[in-house]
Amino acid sequence: ADARSDIFAFGCVLYEILSGKRAFPGTSSASIMASILEREPAALDLPSPLERVIATSLAKDPDRRFQNVLDLKRALHWAMEPQPVAAAVAKPRRWYWAATAGAVAAAALGGWAVSPSRSVKPEEPVMRFKISPPEKTTFTFLVISPDGRRVAFIATDAARKRQLWVRDLDAIAARPLAGTDGARNPFWSPDSRAIAFFADGKLKKIEAAGGPPQVLADAEENIAGGAWSSAGVIVYRPSPLGPMFQVSAGGGDPKPATQLDISQSEGSHGWPQFLPGGRRFLYHNRSRQPGIYIGSLDSKEEKVRVMASESSAVYAATPDGSGRLLFLRGRTLMAQPFDPEKLKISGEAVPVADPVGISWERPGFSVASNGALVVDTIDSARELRWFDRSGKPLGTVGGRADYIGINLSPDDRRLAADVEGDIWTIDLARDAASRLTFHPALDAVTIWSPDSKRIAFTSTRDGRWSLYWKLSSGASEEELLVNTNGVKLFSGWSPDGRYLLYSESSDRKTGWDIWVLPVEGDRKPYLFLQTEFDEHWGRFSPDGKWIAYVSNESGKNEVFVRPFSPGQPGSGGKVQVSNGGGELPRWRGDGKELFYIGPDRQMTVAAVKPGSAAFEAAIPQVLFPTQTPKGNFATYAVTADGQRFLVNQPPQDTAPNPATIILNWAAGVKK
């Protein structure tokens, strides 16, 4: 970009003045850019000297344009000299308007070329344009680079393949980054040269220009983003919930960046954003007092609450030297003055854009240091849809909401669902929903008792990942079952009602382990399975003799089965059921089939020979593809007869929406 770019723009304006038409027409930003790159402007019926001035100004090669404004001014003056009589007679009216426009342009150029220091630069307006996802994909999680020149995003194709892409704002098309399959939650380096993201249980980074990704640290299942400091430190949350950690941008051993406050029932910290200086950062705190807080790389004890909020916020410097805190109020993006030194907001919040999407505490916007802003309207609302064994849709349950885990009661009459940190039950016959928990902390990951009278669940209400249960009718208070350190997630209940299964991650050397919690007696839990690998999502067979579970001992998640003996750790031979990947096993009510989510998110089933002394399973068969998200949550349920499946998935009637790029957004919020 130099003076020759301005000459090109001047040529566009002069062309439109003389013709009444645009030099490069189009109905969208993409079509206009294509016209500029691929086509020449239509010829004008003008005297040849003036046509040459326009053509030279609009040359695609900058070296073929006028090299400075003075040359352009001289060419215009020459073009305005009297023309031969024949030409003047042949085009009297056209030449009059051309001469008038040319004279005005030359006079304007004279002032521009001679006295630029005396000109008054007009205030930059707010400008908006759309960008669309790559063909046959939808995109989510758009983040603009700090210099405002590129946008990174996650694109998902029809086969549910997810990949990281980059779009240069001065380019027509986006480009995928090889080696980023399964990527989620990207964020930029401060110099706009690299992108960090999460995939395969790792925090990774890759150059925006391409190249092999580099693993930085473990990140079991990140759903809370990250931030890259100018000090060369990345802050992120490696687990589905809990505190955040910090690690060098070059990789290494993570160490705590924040710690949970038990007295405030804090369950998770996430979506960090660094403030100027690269030491302090904003983050969202899910607690008894949810909101935007300040953390620091220098001290995990520093904790300043900036404002109440149900989602994260971003700081943006503005051209006038002040700064704004950008956050959502409902679906409206708001901006409010914020002092990053005093850590205080002031004045009134004013709207910037509406509507804006939101996905589990993360608003759908990203801001650059040059005043550029990207806004998407993608909403995290999902639907619960029934399917038969062939994958034929059979209708939906409940309305659209931020569903996470779902579980059918053993009698198939009710559903328990995790919705925005609380547990709801849905009467399937009446399609009527009732809220079961009301605590401001996180309540999730439910399991039904065999008689459908109780629901056990995980909660962070005491500042730790504790296990509770409650009558499914809601006619009782929550009762604490287990309160120890580590993240704990319920997964199964024995058919006789005497034992609960849960997964716990408290030891970084062994990862996820499976525990058994006796419901009767002293309720002292004991280990069922612990190795150097991750074992989780244990499910009792309907006869109580077997436990199906997931392990990554082969390098990827697979479904295994082991025998269960009360009071004893997992012993005896294990049997691998899945082949090529498997997650979230569920038994048919009579134990004759074992379902799971296979490779490429396909609903898969393996026939089981019941009643035998040794466990036997047939070769797995694919039933139908799903759109369930990855994660350690129950994203589908199956009826006891194994004929219908309830799947947590994106709404089917949602068309992909383009994202909006807003340039100079701060000009609209000065008042």
Is residue 223 classed exposed, middle or buried when 0-12, 13-18 and 19+ CB atoms within 10 A define those classes?
buried
Rounded mean pLDDT, 347-351? 91
**Percent of the residues in the chain that have a pLDDT greater than 90, as a whole number:** 48
Residue 461 pLDDT greater than 70, yes or no: yes
Tens of pLDDT, residues 9-27: 999 999 888 888 899 988 7
Can you name the residues that pair with 539 across neighbouring β-strands?
Answer: 548
User: What is the C-alpha separation between 145 and 366, in angstroms, rounded?
Assistant: 9
| Nearest in space to 203 (alpha carbons), one of 143, 170, 144, 250 | 250
* DSSP codes, 618-654: ---EEEEE--PPPSSS--EEE-TTSSEEEEEE--TT-
Tens of pLDDT, residues 599-642: 888 999 999 987 677 899 999 999 999 988 766 678 999 999 99
Residue 437 pLDDT greater than 90, yes or no: yes
Of these ranges, 7-16, 148-157, 368-377, 407-416, the one predicted with the greatest mean pLDDT is: 407-416
User: What is the C-alpha separation between 535 and 513, in angstroms, rounded?
Assistant: 5
Of these ranges, 78-87, 376-385, 542-551, the one predicted with the greatest mean pLDDT is: 542-551
Residue 220 pLDDT greater than 90, yes or no: no
DSSP state for residue 124 in the 8-state scheme: P
Backbone angles phi, psi at 198, to 5 degrees: -120, 135
Tens of pLDDT, residues 209-218: 999 999 999 8
Lowest mean pLDDT among 39-48, 367-376, 521-530: 39-48
Question: pLDDT tier at 85 (50, 70, 90 boundaries)?
Answer: very low
Residue 412 pLDDT greater than 70, yes or no: yes
User: What is the C-alpha separation between 581 and 615, in angstroms, rounded?
Assistant: 20
Tens of pLDDT, residues 48-67: 778 888 988 998 888 888 88
Residue 601 zone, left/alpha/beta (φ > 0; ψ -120 to 50; rest): left
Residue 324 pLDDT greater than 90, yes or no: yes
Tell me what the pLDDT averaged over the chain comes to: 85
User: What is the C-alpha separation between 112 and 117, in angstroms, rounded?
Assistant: 9
Rounded mean pLDDT, 296-319? 83
Q: Is 404 or 571 the better-scoring residue by pLDDT?
A: 404
Q: Give the pLDDT score at 88.
A: 40
Is residue 38 classed exposed, middle or buried when 0-12, 13-18 and 19+ CB atoms within 10 A define those classes?
exposed
User: What is the C-alpha separation between 349 and 368, in angstroms, rounded?
Assistant: 20
Q: Give the pLDDT score at 447.
A: 94
Q: Give the pLDDT score at 209.
A: 93
Q: Is 203 or 97 the better-scoring residue by pLDDT?
A: 203
Q: Give the pLDDT score at 122.
A: 55
Residue 109 pLDDT greater than 50, yes or no: yes
Lowest mean pLDDT among 300-304, 401-405, 607-611: 300-304
Q: Give the pLDDT score at 655.
A: 60
Tens of pLDDT, residues 637-656: 999 999 999 999 877 765 66
Q: Across the beta sheet with 233-236, what order do the strands follow? A: 226-228, 233-236, 245-248, 255-256
Strands (E), 526-634: 526-529, 535-540, 546-551, 558-563, 575-576, 583-587, 593-597, 602-607, 621-625
Residue 70: CB atoms within 10 A of its CB come to 14
Question: pLDDT tier at 380 (50, 70, 90 boundaries)?
Answer: low
Of these ranges, 281-290, 350-359, 391-400, the one predicted with the greatest mean pLDDT is: 391-400
Q: Is 450 or 222 the better-scoring residue by pLDDT?
A: 450
Of these ranges, 193-197, 243-247, 351-355, 571-575, the one predicted with the greatest mean pLDDT is: 193-197
Rounded mean pLDDT, 264-275? 85
Question: pLDDT tier at 296 (50, 70, 90 boundaries)?
Answer: very high
Lowest mean pLDDT among 87-101, 414-428, 563-577: 87-101
Rounded mean pLDDT, 175-196? 94
Q: Give the pLDDT score at 656.
A: 62
- Look-up of token digits 């396909």: 602
User: What is the C-alpha separation between 193 and 184, in angstroms, rounded?
Assistant: 18
Q: How many CA atoms lie within 13 A of 283 on its CB side?
A: 35
Rounded mean pLDDT, 388-416? 92
User: What is the C-alpha separation between 591 and 480, in angstroms, rounded?
Assistant: 31
Residue 123 pLDDT greater than 70, yes or no: no
Q: Give the pLDDT score at 69.
A: 83
Q: Give the pLDDT score at 483.
A: 82
Instruction: Report which residue type is found at 444.
Output: A
Lowest mean pLDDT among 109-118, 356-365, 612-621: 109-118
Question: pLDDT tier at 105 (50, 70, 90 boundaries)?
Answer: low
Q: Residues near 31 by Cβ (< 8 Å), separated by ≥ 6?
A: none
Rounded mean pLDDT, 502-526? 87
Lowest mean pLDDT among 310-314, 316-320, 333-337: 316-320
Q: Rounded to an integer, what is the distance from CA 295 to the centroid of its chain?
A: 22
Q: Give the pLDDT score at 463.
A: 65
